[in-house]
Homo-oligomer: A and B are copies of this chain.
Amino acid sequence: MPCELCNADNEQILYENQHLRIILVEDSNYPGFCRVIWKQHIKEMTDLSPEDRQHLFDWVLRTEQALRTVLNPDKINLATLGNAVPHLHWHVIARFTDDAHFPSPIWAAPRRKAPRAAPEGLAQNLSRLLNAS
Contact-residue bracket for chain A: 20 to 34
Query: Which of B46, B61, B75 lies in contact with A61, CB distance below 8 A?
Result: B46
- Chain B residues lying within 8 Å of A79, measured Cβ to Cβ, are 77-81, 105
Q: Are B78 and A45 in contact (CB under 8 A)?
A: yes
Is there an interface contact between A83 and B95, defined as CB atoms closer than 8 Å?
yes
Chain A contacts with B in 104-120, Cβ cutoff 8 A? 104-105, 107-109
A102 in the interface (beta carbon within 8 A): yes
A34-75 interface code vs B (CB 8 A; 1 in, 0 out): 000000000111100000011001000100110010000001
- Are B82 and A61 within 8 A (Cβ)? no
Are B75's CB and A46's CB within 8 A? Answer: no
